[in-house]
Structures are given as structure tokens and as C-alpha cells.
Structure 1
Amino acid sequence: MDQSKNPAARTVKTRSQAPRAWQRMLSGRRLDLLDPSPFDIEIEDIAHGLARVARWNGQTIGEHAFSVAQHSCVVEEIAAHIRPGLEPRWRLAALLHDASEYVIGDMISPFKAALGVSYKSFEARLEDAIHVRFGLPPKTPLPIKKLIKSADKACAYFEATQLAGFTEKESLGFFGAPPAGYDLVIDPLPAPVAQARYLERYRVLAEATGNLPGPDAWHTE
């Protein structure tokens, strides 16, 4: 039979030729990168991935890379320092502020700018799905977003001066001064330790917000 006249055959061929747009996670989830579902996002996958993604493209001193997981824990701490009494849900938002990088990696800011709007929209869809998965508003309120950005820049200041070879003058120019009364000495952690700390902070904050999944939620088929 002439398969060119068979719609079913043409459908199979089209599907087989379509590029794969999902990634298999260690939890067994398949995350569609173009249309991410909150149901396919697990905190264990995020923690595992972020603990193995290096800040500054790995261009830092020391035996271990400074991971996005460790960076995220510091940003959450700085956000709470800047705004004492910060609600647990917004501390959780700070912890998850770079969670999308468990899939897309930590691109340095100049490269993100070069990629333009398409990259930002892709990143935003993934961030929205992550927020919904963990009981946060899809879009972070602007005041909280600004707070997290300030904490993020403060952490970057310490990273740049202590790990990435920036002078203090350069760091101040790019990131501004860290918040008054806060100091940090960075000791980059091995990936398994950073992963465990990230998971522990998540569980503390998720429990405080009433969004801690039950035991069956960690490994659903």
C-alpha cells in the first residue's frame, strides 16, 4: 500500500521525527521543557540538579564549585536579614528563585541578555510551573521580587570578591554594597552536602507554609 496515502502512517512518521522536548529526571518524571507541568516537578530533582550547577560557569577558586543550591540558601538568608519577619512563603520564594536552573543551567547575565525575549519567556514558563507546584503564586509580587533581587545581588557581591576574582571596586560597581550588618565568608560545599542543605531548608519552609507534601508525594509513579 502507498503509505503516502495512509494518514496513520504519516502521523507515526511525523511523531518519530519531532525533536524530543522533555527531559527524564532521576525521580522518573518527564518534564516537558516547552510546556512544563507542575505535576512533573519534584523538589528532589531540583535539589539534585542545583547542587551540580556551578555559579560563574565554574570560574571560581577552591576545590568545589559554588553551586546554585548553596547560593539559593544564602539568598534566602539574606532576604530574611533585609526584611526581618519575612513570611515563610516568601522565604520559600527566595529559596526557589533560581530553581529553573536545575533544567536550563546557570547562564551568566550577559548571555541571557544576548538570547533575548525567547529565553526569558521560556524561563518564565518554567518558573511559573515551579511556583504552582510548591504552593506559591505563579507570579511573585513585585515588592517581594525586588527584595529577592536585592538579596541575590548581595550574594553575588560576596561570590564575586571571594571566589570569582573581582576586586571590591568592581563588585560594588556591578552589584552594589551588601546590606548593612550582614557579612558572609563563603566555603563552597561538595554537591551532596549542598543538596542536603537545600532540601532541608525547603522542608522547613514548606512545613511552615503548610505546603509540605506527604510521604507518598516524593516518589509518585
Structure 2
Amino acid sequence: MKPQRAWMLLQSGGRLDLLDPKPDAWTDEDLAIGLSRTYRWGGYSAWDLPLSVAQHSLAVLALRKREGKLAPRDALRELLHDATEALVGGIDPIMPLKPHLGEGFAQLDRRLQDAVDRRYGLPPWTDESYALHKRADRQAAANEAYHVVGWSRDDIRSSLQITLEPLDHDPLPLPPGMSPWEPWPPNLAKDLFLERLGELGDTIDVTETLDEIFIEDTLARLAEAFSRLPEAMRRRCRHLPTGKRGLDTLVQVEADDGSQCVEGVVVDGERNESGAFYFDDHFLVFSTEATEGGELIRCNGANCHVEIL
């Protein structure tokens, strides 16, 4: 039986496994491209172009900010509230369809949402913040139904069951040459979304968050590989990897002459009074860089440089 797989090749060259999504599988530009090509309202519009989820996301953020000042991570959470729709393959199911998609789709969406949350360090919703978000989201839907798709005000209330009245003024700044409420071309939507994402990312240092996630994932992967080693090899190590940051030490060791560089988790060696490994003497590193199953590498601290990751 062939193993299940569901890969997407992204424009950056990254590969996203929908069955096991990793937080570092996509770039910000990949996400912006996906959202700019994912369409609201089933792709229908009274304009020449449909409305992208990228433009909708920016509108929700603008509407939410009208309710009061947002912390940078809360603003980022608003901007990325529909991020999984780009990562799942550009699907934004209309509301009546969602209950019919089944638990399998719901599980896939939850896995993607977890990857997004970890990638960008998004805080969980509180009851209050989620209520404010949903109001902004519903207000955006009322605006779009009336100004973009062409529903009447009566039908918005009776058929769509949205009680909020459409606003008269577009909450988004008008790009040059565009009319109020007009759906943006994909490249423009991508660029403006990416610009806003970058501004928020610079404020909260998303790069540092991603580095932490990479280290956590690497430690977890090394611990799993170590557990599959023969028992005789594992017994040689006094520190068994746990896969947890704070308990394991991930290092990059480079020979002084530059002839060899290895990354792995320290599994044996002397410790100082604080409990940290002492790298001026011999120590043992478990690495999977050279062999798929992993190997134990004995390092001489006197002849190498050690960087703790």
C-alpha cells in the first residue's frame, strides 16, 4: 500500500505536506500569493475581477482597528485569520458548503491552523477578542455582499442572515487607479498584503519566532530518530534526548580547520556547576546529517568551535 501524500509545490520551491504541515514550509510571499489567488463568494463578483481573500483580510484588520488599539500580535492574528485557505490549495468554501466537507477536511484545516499559529507566534483567541473579530469579519461580509457581489440589503438580512448594515465608505485606502470597493488584481493584492505582513512582522520579530520553531522541530526529530537506535548505542549515552527545548542542547560543531561541520544534539559529556555541558573536553553528539538513521559523533572540544543553537 502506497503511503498517503498530499504535497503542494510552492512558488518559492518549498513543498508543503498538507497531511503533516511544517511551520517553515512556506515563505511569506508564498502565503501572499495564495491568498491573492483565493477568492471570496465562490469567485463571483459584480466587477470584472473577484474579491481575493488577501484584500478581505486587510479589510477585516482595518475594521477591527476601528474598535480600538491592537497589539502587534493581535493585529497579525486578524490579518492571518484566513491564512489556511491559501495553504489548503486556494479554497474558501462558501458557508453553506462547509458542513458538508466532513471531519477529514476539518482535521486538515486544524493542522494547517496549528502550523500558522506556530509559524507566526499567534496568541489564542479570548472570548472577547474573538467576538470583536467576528463582528469585523461579518461587517466585511456585509460590505462585500452589497458592494462587490451585488446582493440587496434585504437579501443580505433574509438570505445571508447578516444583520449588520453595509458601510457606505470602503475601510481600505484606495490604490491608485482603483475605485471604492473594487476588487484588486492578484498582483496588487499580493503586494499590499505582503507589505502589511512585513510591517507587522518587523514589529514583533517573526523571524525570531520561526527560528525557535525550527529548533523545536529539529530537537523533536532528533529525539525520535535517537529512540530508533539499537539499545547498545543508546546505552553509551548518559543524556537521552527528550525533544524539548530547555532539556536538550542543540549544537553546531565545526572543526578548527573547517574540514567538518555537524549539527546535532549533545547526548554525553561533562557538565559544569550550572548543569550546562562543558565543551572544552570530549563530548558526544547525535546527528542525522550524514546517515538517515543517525550516528553518534565524538567531538574534541580542544580542536573545534561549538555554537549552541
Question: Contact 1:203/1:212 (CA < 8 Å) preserved in 2?
Answer: no
Structure 2: unaligned runs, 5 residues or longer: 171-179, 210-309
Deviation at 1:35, TM superposition (A): 1.6
Report SS of the residue matched to 2:20: coil
RMSD: 2.2
Report SS of the residue matched to 1:78: helix
Q: Does 1:60 align with 2:60?
A: no
**2:183 corresponds to which of 166, 172, 188:** 188
Name the aligned partner's letter for residue 202 of structure 1. L
After superposition, the Cα gap between the structure-2 partners of 1:210 and 1:103, relative to the gap in structure 1 and judged at 3 Å, is closer
Per-residue CA deviations over 1:134-184 (Å, capped at 9, x if unaligned) read 1213x43332222222111110001101122311122235222159x8832
- Aligned pairs (5 A) from 1:79-158: 79-82=64-67, 84-104=68-88, 105-137=91-123, 139-158=124-143
From the CA coordinates, give the structure whose radius of gyration is larger. Answer: 2
Question: Contact 2:153/2:165 (CA < 8 Å) preserved in 1?
Answer: no
- Aligned pairs (5 A) from 1:1-12: none
As a proportion of its length, which structure holds more helix? 1
Deviation at 1:120, TM superposition (A): 2.2
Name the aligned partner's letter for residue 151 of structure 1. A
Distance, in Å, in 2 between the alignment partners of 1:159 and 1:98 is 16
Question: Contact 2:12/2:26 (CA < 8 Å) preserved in 1?
Answer: no
Distance, in Å, in 1 between the alignment partners of 2:208 and 2:56 is 24
Question: Contact 2:87/2:112 (CA < 8 Å) preserved in 1?
Answer: no
Distance, in Å, in 2 between the alignment partners of 1:119 and 1:146 is 25
More relative contact order, 1 or 2 (CA 8 Å, 6+ apart): 1
Structure 1: unaligned runs, 5 residues or longer: 1-13, 215-221
Total equivalences in the alignment: 197
Question: Contact 2:5/2:19 (CA < 8 Å) preserved in 1?
Answer: no
As a proportion of its length, which structure holds more strand? 2
Query: What TM-score results when the alignment is normalised by the length of structure 1?
Result: 0.81
Per-residue CA deviations over 1:163-217 (Å, capped at 9, x if unaligned) read 22311122235222159x8832411110000000000110111122232579xxx
Question: Contact 1:112/1:119 (CA < 8 Å) preserved in 2?
Answer: no
Percent of aligned pairs with the same residue?
35
After superposition, the Cα gap between the structure-2 partners of 1:120 and 1:178, relative to the gap in structure 1 and judged at 3 Å, is farther
After superposition, the Cα gap between the structure-2 partners of 1:141 and 1:124, relative to the gap in structure 1 and judged at 3 Å, is farther
Name the aligned partner's letter for residue 95 of structure 1. L
Question: Contact 1:81/1:182 (CA < 8 Å) preserved in 2?
Answer: no
**2:195 corresponds to which of 180, 183, 200:** 200
